A and B are shown apart, each in its own frame.
Chain A
Amino acid sequence: MIRYYLLIMGIFLALGLIPKSHRLMNALAAGNGMLHLIMSCVALLTFDLPGRLGESLYLDHLNLYVELITALGFSAAAFYAKGYTDSLMEAGELDPKNLKTFYLAFNLLLVTATVALFSDNLALFWIFAELTTVCAAMLVAILSARENIDAALKYVFIVSGAMLFAFLGLIFLFTLSEQTLGEGTLNWTELAVHASEFSPALLLASFTFMFIGFGAKAGVAPFHTWLPDAYARAPSVSAILSGLMQNLGIYGIIRMYALLRESSAAPQASSILIAAGVFSIALASFSMLQQRNLKRLIAFSSVEHMGLLLIGIGIGTPLALFWTLFYMLVHVLVKETLLFSAGILHRQYRSNMREDMKDVFKLQPRAAWGLILGSIAIVGMPPFPLFPAKFFILLESAAISPYLTLIVLLTLILAAASFANFLLKAFSKVTVEEEENEEEDHRQITRTLAGTGEIELENVIVKAGREKDRLPGQYMVRNGMRVPAIFMLALALALGFYFPDSLRDLLNAIILELGYV
C-alpha cells in the first residue's frame, strides 16, 4: 500500500514539475493539500478503525486526526503561498528559477509527513520524519540569502543530530522486543500490546533518547534553538513548520508515552516531560519579553505552546490528553493566522522589527487586526478555544503539584504580557497626523509664492518626494493572502463557541485507543 501511495504521489510530483505557470504550480500544491484533507476525512468516516492498509501502514484515530490538522495547515499555507511568493519574486528575493524547487519541497513535505504518520513501523516513521526535515530545510534555504542558509543548516544539524539519538532509542526498543518476544519488532501495534512486559529501565532509556529526537523536531527547549531562526528567515510558509513539523514531533512523543504508560517507568517519563515542558514555557516567556522581532516572538510562542503540550501529555490523565489533542488543532489554526498576518506586515515593511513598523492601521489594517485577534487567541483569552484547553490542562496539573500550576500560570501571563507589549509598541506609532499640519503650512507658503506655474510644479514634486519619505507605499496584498488567515481565525473562533460532537467523539476514540481509559 505504501508503495502505491509513494508511486502515485511520485507521479503527481513529477507532473508538478512540468507546468511553467505559477498559478498552475500553486493550484497543484493546494490540490495536494485538499486531497489529503478529503482523504483523511473519508478514511475517518468510512474506515473501520483501527485498521491496516497493507503491510506497513496503520490507521487509527490518532494519526488520522494529526493528518487532518497537517493537511488543513498545509492547504491554508498553499493558498497563501501564491501571493507571497509572487511578491518575493517581484522584490527579487526569490529567484524565479527556484520556484519549482520550492513547490517540489513544499509538496514533498506533506507526502513524507503523511507516510511518517501512518507508518506502523517505527523505523519507517524515523526515516520519513528525517526526510521531512530535509524538505523543510530546503524551504528555509530557498531564498539563498546567507542568513537563510545559516538558519537551514542550523535546523538540519540540530534536528537530524537529535534524531540520531532517537535512533539509538529505537535500537533499545528493538532489543527489548527481541528479548521479550523472541523476535525483534518495531511496530507500534505489537509494541503497544507487549509494552507492559518490557524491562522498565530499558524502556525508560529508550523513551529518553526518543524524546530528545522528537522533542527537537517539536522545538522543545533546550533543543529549540533552530526554531526562532527558521521561523524568522523562512518565507512565511514557515506556517507549515508549526502546522506540520512540530505536530509530527508531538505525535511521536504521544505514541511513546502511551507505550510507557503501561510500564512501571511511567512516573519517571512523566517527570521528564513535565520538566521539559516547564523549562520550555519559562525559557520561551522570558525570551519573548523583550523581543523586537515579530516572527521571533511568534516562534518563541511556539516553543511555549509545545511546552504546554508536553505538560498535558506528561500529566497522563485522559482529561489532560483530551485537551492536549484539542490544543494541537487550535494551536495550528491560531499560529497560522499570526504567521500569515506577520508575513503581510513583512512584505509591507520589509522587516520583522518592531522599530520599522509605523502606521500599521493605515497601511495594513486587516493584517493588524489579524495579529491582534490572533494574539488574543494565542494567549488563551476566551472566547477563543485555547482558553478551555489551557484551563483544563492547568486544572489537571494541580493534581500533580499546585506549584506547577502556579509557575506555569505565571509564565503564561508573562507570555501574554509580551504579546501585549509588542503590539502596543509596534502598532501605536503614527507619524502622519503631525506632518499633515506641516503640509498645510507648506501649502500656504507655496500658495503665496505661486506666481508662476513653475513653482507649482516644483511644489508637486517636493510633495511627492516627502510623501514617499513619510509613508512607504502601501503594499498591495494579493488575492488569496488574506483569505487563509481569516478562514483559520474564523474556524478557531467557531470552535470557541461550539464544540462539535463529532470532534469530541474523535478525541475520545483516540484516548480509548491509546489505552488511557
Chain B
Amino acid sequence: MIDPLFLEGIIKILFVFVLISAGLIISTRNLSSVLTTYTIQSFLLAAVSFLLYLIDGKSQLLLLAGLTLASKVILIPYFISRIEEKIKIGRDLHFAYLEPTPSLLLSIGLILLSYTFLSKVFEGLPLTKLFFFGAVIGLSLTLMGMLVMFSRKKVVTKALGYLSMENGVLMFGLFVTELPFIIEVLIIIDLVILVMLTTILAVGMDSSIEEYRQKFRKLQVWTGVESQ
C-alpha cells in the first residue's frame, strides 16, 4: 500500500499540469498540438481518477479512469485527428475578441474567481483541502474551456474547447461528489455524439479543399444580410 499523503502530493502536481494544459489549449496555434494537449489533459484526468481510487479504494473511480482512457484518450482524439487530416489545414491562426496573452491573463482571473466563489459556496461542506482544490481546478478548467470556445475561430478548436470544458465538469464532479456511474456514461455518450456532429460539420466549415468551397458557393441560397 502506498502512502496516501504521497498520492495526494502527486495529485496536486497533476493539478498544475492540468492547468498548464488548459493554458496551452488557449494559446497554441498548431491544430495537431491542440489535439495532443487535449489528449494529455484527458490522460491526466484518468490518472487523477486512478490515484483517487488508490486512496479511496472505490471501484467506481477505477471504472471512471478506464472509461476516460478509452473514450477521451483514444476514441475521440483518433476521430478528430482523422478529421484534421481530412480538412488539410494545420493551423488555427486567428483569434476572435482575445489574443492569447490577454486570454491567459484572463484565465488567471478566472481561476481566482472560481477559488473565491467556491470558498464562499462550500463553506458548510465537509470537503478536505485536496478535494476543495480539485473542485476549484475543475471549475477553472470549465471556464477556460469556455474561453477557448469564445476566442478561437476554427470549428475543430472550438470543439476541443468544448471537450476541455467537459473535462473540467468531470473533474469538478470527481472531487465534489460521487455521481452515479450511469450519469458519467451518459455524459460520455453525449460527448461522442456531439463531437461527431460538430467535427463532421467542421469538414464543411474549416475545409480548405476547393470542391467544398465551390459546393457551398453554389448552394448559397439562403440569402441574408451577409451574402448580399
The reply to whether B223 and A350 form a contact with Cβ atoms under 8 Å apart is: yes
B5 interfacial contact with A, CB 8 Å? no
**CB < 8 Å: which of A144, A156, A172, A292 contacts B219?**
A144
Instruction: Please measure, in the bound complex, the distance between the C-alpha atom of A97 and the C-alpha atom of B208, giving whole angstroms.
Output: 25
A91 proximity list for chain B (CB < 8 A): 221
B102 interfacial contact with A, CB 8 Å? no
Instruction: Please measure, in the bound complex, the distance between the C-alpha atom of A91 and the C-alpha atom of B180, giving whole angstroms.
Output: 50
The reply to whether A167 and B222 form a contact with Cβ atoms under 8 Å apart is: no
- Which residues of B188-228 have CB atoms within 8 Å of chain A's CB atoms? 189-190, 193-194, 197-198, 201-202, 204-205, 215-216, 219-228
A353 proximity list for chain B (CB < 8 A): 223-225, 228
The reply to whether B219 and A157 form a contact with Cβ atoms under 8 Å apart is: no
A461 interfacial contact with B, CB 8 Å? no
Nearest to B146 among chain A residues (CB) is: A161
Instruction: Please measure, in the bound complex, the distance between the C-alpha atom of A232 and the C-alpha atom of B123, giving whole angstroms.
Output: 46
Instruction: Please measure, in the bound complex, the distance between the C-alpha atom of A171 and the C-alpha atom of B123, giving whole angstroms.
Output: 16
Instruction: Please measure, in the bound complex, the distance between the C-alpha atom of A293 and the C-alpha atom of B224, giving whole angstroms.
Output: 7
A144 proximity list for chain B (CB < 8 A): 204, 215-216, 219
The reply to whether B120 and A201 form a contact with Cβ atoms under 8 Å apart is: yes
B224 proximity list for chain A (CB < 8 A): 147, 232-233, 293, 296, 352-353
The reply to whether B226 and A161 form a contact with Cβ atoms under 8 Å apart is: no
Instruction: Please measure, in the bound complex, the distance between the C-alpha atom of A143 and the C-alpha atom of B223, giving whole angstroms.
Output: 13
The reply to whether B223 and A351 form a contact with Cβ atoms under 8 Å apart is: yes
Give chain B's interface residue range (CB within 8 Å of chain A). 35 or more
Q: Interface residue count for A (Cβ, 8 Å)?
A: 50
**CB < 8 Å: which of A138, A157, A175, A202 contacts B158?**
A157
Interface of chain B: mostly helix, strand, loop or mixed? helix
A172 proximity list for chain B (CB < 8 A): 121, 176
Interface string of A451-468 (1 = CB under 8 A from B): 000000000000000000
Least CB distance, A194 to chain B, in whole angstroms: 16
Interface string of B68-89 (1 = CB under 8 A from A): 0000000000000000000000
On whether A165 and B125 interact (CB within 8 A), knowing A143-B222, A153-B205, the answer reads no
Interface string of B166-188 (1 = CB under 8 A from A): 10010011001111100100110
- Which residues of A33-81 have CB atoms within 8 Å of chain B's CB atoms? none
B183 proximity list for chain A (CB < 8 A): 123
The reply to whether B220 and A145 form a contact with Cβ atoms under 8 Å apart is: yes
List 9 contacting pairs A-B, 8 Å CB cutoff, sorted by A.
Answer: A93-B222, A134-B197, A143-B221, A147-B222, A149-B201, A152-B201, A153-B158, A171-B172, A175-B177
Interface string of B85-126 (1 = CB under 8 A from A): 000000000000000000000000000000001001111110
B139 interfacial contact with A, CB 8 Å? yes
On whether A175 and B222 interact (CB within 8 A), knowing A134-B194, A138-B197, A167-B187, the answer reads no
The reply to whether B219 and A171 form a contact with Cβ atoms under 8 Å apart is: no
A141 interfacial contact with B, CB 8 Å? yes
Least CB distance, B57 to chain A, in whole angstroms: 19
B149 interfacial contact with A, CB 8 Å? yes
Least CB distance, A263 to chain B, in whole angstroms: 14
Least CB distance, A357 to chain B, in whole angstroms: 13
On whether A171 and B176 interact (CB within 8 A), knowing A146-B219, A147-B226, A150-B205, the answer reads yes
Instruction: Please measure, in the bound complex, the distance between the C-alpha atom of A266 and the C-alpha atom of B56, giving whole angstroms.
Output: 38
A375 proximity list for chain B (CB < 8 A): none
Interface centre among A134, A143, A233 (most CB of B within 10 A): A134
On whether A145 and B142 interact (CB within 8 A), knowing A123-B183, A127-B190, A205-B121, the answer reads no
The reply to whether B125 and A164 form a contact with Cβ atoms under 8 Å apart is: no
Instruction: Please measure, in the bound complex, the distance between the C-alpha atom of A130 and the C-alpha atom of B192, giving whole angstroms.
Output: 12
B52 proximity list for chain A (CB < 8 A): none
Instruction: Please measure, in the bound complex, the distance between the C-alpha atom of A400 and the C-alpha atom of B220, giving whole angstroms.
Output: 49
On whether A160 and B194 interact (CB within 8 A), knowing A146-B216, A168-B142, the answer reads yes
Instruction: Please measure, in the bound complex, the distance between the C-alpha atom of A147 and the C-alpha atom of B223, giving whole angstroms.
Output: 9
Least CB distance, A385 to chain B, in whole angstroms: 32
Instruction: Please measure, in the bound complex, the distance between the C-alpha atom of A161 and the C-alpha atom of B165, giving whole angstroms.
Output: 8
A168 proximity list for chain B (CB < 8 A): 139, 142, 169, 172
Instruction: Please measure, in the bound complex, the distance between the C-alpha atom of A505 and the C-alpha atom of B83, giving whole angstroms.
Output: 55
**CB < 8 Å: which of B172, B190, B198 contacts A131?**
B190
Interface string of A112-141 (1 = CB under 8 A from B): 000000000001100100110010011001
On whether A149 and B205 interact (CB within 8 A), knowing A134-B197, A167-B187, A174-B177, the answer reads yes
**CB < 8 Å: which of A92, A130, A351 contacts B190?**
A130
Interface string of A340-359 (1 = CB under 8 A from B): 00000000001111000000
On whether A199 and B124 interact (CB within 8 A), knowing A123-B183, A167-B169, A171-B172, the answer reads yes
A171 proximity list for chain B (CB < 8 A): 169, 172-173, 176-177, 179
A480 interfacial contact with B, CB 8 Å? no
A388 proximity list for chain B (CB < 8 A): none
Instruction: Please measure, in the bound complex, the distance between the C-alpha atom of A232 and the C-alpha atom of B162, giving whole angstroms.
Output: 25
If A131-B193, A156-B198 are given as contacts, then 20 extra A-B residue pairs at C-beta distance below 8 Å, sorted by A number, are A93-B222, A123-B180, A127-B187, A131-B190, A137-B197, A138-B197, A144-B204, A144-B216, A144-B219, A145-B220, A150-B205, A157-B158, A160-B162, A167-B187, A172-B176, A179-B125, A201-B120, A233-B222, A293-B224, A352-B224
